[in-house]
Amino acid sequence: MSEARLYRGMRDFLPNFMIPREKILEQIRNIFQRWGYVPIETPAIELLSTLLGKYGNDADKLIYRLEHSDGLGLRYDLTVPLARVISLYKQDLPKPFRRYQIQPVWRAERAQKQKGRFREFIQCDVDIVGTSSPIADAEIIAISAEILNSLGFSNFKIVLNHRKILRGLVHLAGFDIEDELSVLRSLDKWDKIGEDGVMKELDTKGYSAASSKKLFELVSAESGNWEMLANFAKLGDERISEGVSNIQKILEHLSSLGVGQDAVKFSPRMARGLDYYTGAIFEAILPELPNMGSLTGGGRYDNLIGMFSKGEEIPACGTTIGIDRILAAMDELNLIPEAHTNTKVMVAMFSDELATKSLTFAQRLRKIGIEAEVYPEPKKLAKQFAYADKWKIPYVVIIGEDEAKQGLCVLKELSSGQQRIVKTDDAMRILLEVFGK
């Protein structure tokens, strides 16, 4: 006898969670494919030399290591493996390379208190490698929008900003250029800890209050934000102007791709935590669920992919589709239909002698595409019904002795309790009408 226990931060996914997740992932995969993206997968176990030094010192500590003389660790994200793949299989992957990848990653996070923080979670990444065209940025944003639309989110906003604009603003505010990333990491917390919180953090880091105040002035206007973007171009900073014109091109392409400006919002305060972004950055949020965080998030990173490829600069742009967050948000907005099983019909078993009748009837249902299962033992019918009820199977069919002799069956709809005796062929026809695809 062993004790059944889970390691903390790990989750078992039972059918009521897995059934909607599988449907959502299939929907997402179809969208990726419709845009010309192809799937890859990489191994869970990578050499530590591949993983270390790519994510920063803090993240390096979160990499799970194996007891192994070769120095092995578990996959931490899908971007470093992508960079390794690009370098290893250059010839087989003509550029621009559009790829998606849906696999779990592992992070040895300490605290398990924050909602939605787990040590194993699925990442779902979509990236286009080998082009710096703003069409790529627009495409990635449009794909994010199409996914959220298709999942039933009617109210999301794509928040857009640009690392070049941020760089220019930080500079204009008087910060030293080498403090840029540190300042941005603090700024990025605005929505979580508020203006005062960011101010305090910048102060603790030892930056001048004047610079912080100036930066806040520059980024704090909230409304009329497309105007604000255009006004940034007048600040006379070359980086900012480059960023503004890049965003404007992306917006133009987005409109060609059917994503209107009402779905997109410019926010000079959105900075994205990761260091490696170099151009446009974007995330999708739900205004009605402000505490949910972003459902998708990504941007352009032109210096990362080349790290395994000698001296080559390989521009890239991509986003993560946050499956866990999306499922949580759908749950909160009641967008997930309750699912216990996909089975539409349980065929009860009356007796061992009549097993064949039940098996062949179920098999006929499957042949016409209706999910059906047979209760495998001739237990009391009440017990069989209780089972169908627990799994919320909509219909039960019983072929008893009397029915069998006359080619009949009992067809019962569990939700209404409605029960009728019909010819087996008619039962097939009725079920096909209800469940036919």
Per-residue tokens: 104: 């779990």
Taking the least distance from each CB to a copy of itself, the nearer of 1 and 382 is: 1
H-helix or E-strand spanning residue 72: strand 72-74
Binding residues among 277-316 for a copy of itself as defined by CB under 8 A? 307-311
Q: Which amino acid is at 116?
A: G
Q: Which of 332, 343, 413, 414 binds a copy of itself (CB under 8 A)?
A: 343
By CB under 8 A, what part of segment 348-367 binds a copy of itself?
A: 349, 355-356, 359-360, 363, 366
Region of 194-202, 222-230, 239-247, 250-258 interacting with a copy of itself (CB under 8 A): 250-258
Cis ω before 81 (30° cut-off from 0):
no
For a copy of itself, give the closer residue by CB, 333 or 359. 359
Least CB distance to a copy of itself at residue 105 (A) = 10
Binder of a copy of itself out of 24, 28, 77, 88 (CB under 8 A): 88
Query: Which residues in the 395-424 window bind a copy of itself by CB under 8 A?
Result: none
Q: Which of 164, 253, 269, 325 binds a copy of itself (CB under 8 A)?
A: 253
Of the two residues 18 and 221, which places its CB atom closer to a copy of itself in the complex? 18
Is position 6 an interface residue for a copy of itself (rule: CB under 8 A)?
yes
DSSP state of 368: T
DSSP per-residue string spanning 159-172:
EEEEHHHHHHHHHH
Tokens of 111: 């605290």
Smaller CB separation from a copy of itself, 72 or 427: 72
- Three-state DSSP at 279 gives coil
> Which CB, 91 or 204, lies closer to a copy of itself?
91
Among 252, 313, 402, 425, binds a copy of itself (CB under 8 A): 252
By CB under 8 A, residue 390 contacts a copy of itself:
yes
Tokens of 384: 């069989």
Nearer to a copy of itself, 231 or 256 (CB): 256
Q: What tokens does 138 get? A: 């627009």
Contact 354, 399 (CB under 8 A): yes
Do the Cβ atoms of 97 and 129 come closer than 8 Å? yes
Q: Which two tokens stand for residue 256?
A: 């060609």
- In whole angstroms, the minimum distance from the beta carbon of 197 to a copy of itself comes to 34
Residues 131-170, interacting with a copy of itself (CB under 8 A): 131, 133, 135-136, 138-139
- Candidates 217, 234, 288, 391; binder of a copy of itself (CB under 8 A) is 391
Residues 18-77 that bind a copy of itself (CB under 8 A): 18-19, 22, 26, 29, 33-36, 38-47, 49-50, 53-54, 64-68, 70, 72, 74
Site for a copy of itself (CB under 8 A): which residue of 28, 99, 184, 201?
Answer: 99
What does the alpha-carbon distance between residue 16 and residue 337 come to, in Å, rounded to a whole number?
10
Instruction: Give CA–CA dist 94/131, Å, rounded.
Output: 12
φ and ψ at residue 340, rounded to 5 degrees: -115, -40
How distant, in Å, are the alpha carbons of 42, 371, 406 from that of 419?
52, 20, 18
Number of amino acids touching a copy of itself (CB under 8 A): 106
Of 179-187, 216-224, 385-393, 423-431, which part binds a copy of itself (CB under 8 A)?
A: 385-393
Min CB(100)–a copy of itself separation in Å: 10
Residue 80 identity (one-letter amino acid): V
Q: What is the spatial distance between Cα 145 and Cα 139, in angstroms, rounded to a whole number? A: 10
Instruction: Decide whether 377 or 425 has the Cβ nearer to a copy of itself.
Output: 377
The beta strand positions in 292-392, using DSSP E, are: 296-300, 316-321, 345-347, 372-374
Shortest approach of a copy of itself to residue 204 CB, angstroms? 33
What are phi and psi for residue 45, nearest 5 degrees? Answer: -100, 120
Per DSSP, helices labelled H in 126-237 are 134-150, 163-172, 180-187, 190-204, 209-220, 225-232
Binder among 59, 60, 62, 87 for a copy of itself (CB under 8 A)? 87
Instruction: Give the nearer residue to a copy of itself in terms of CB position, either 273 or 376.
Output: 376
DSSP code, position 337: P
Distance between the two ends of the chain, CA-based, in angstroms? Answer: 46
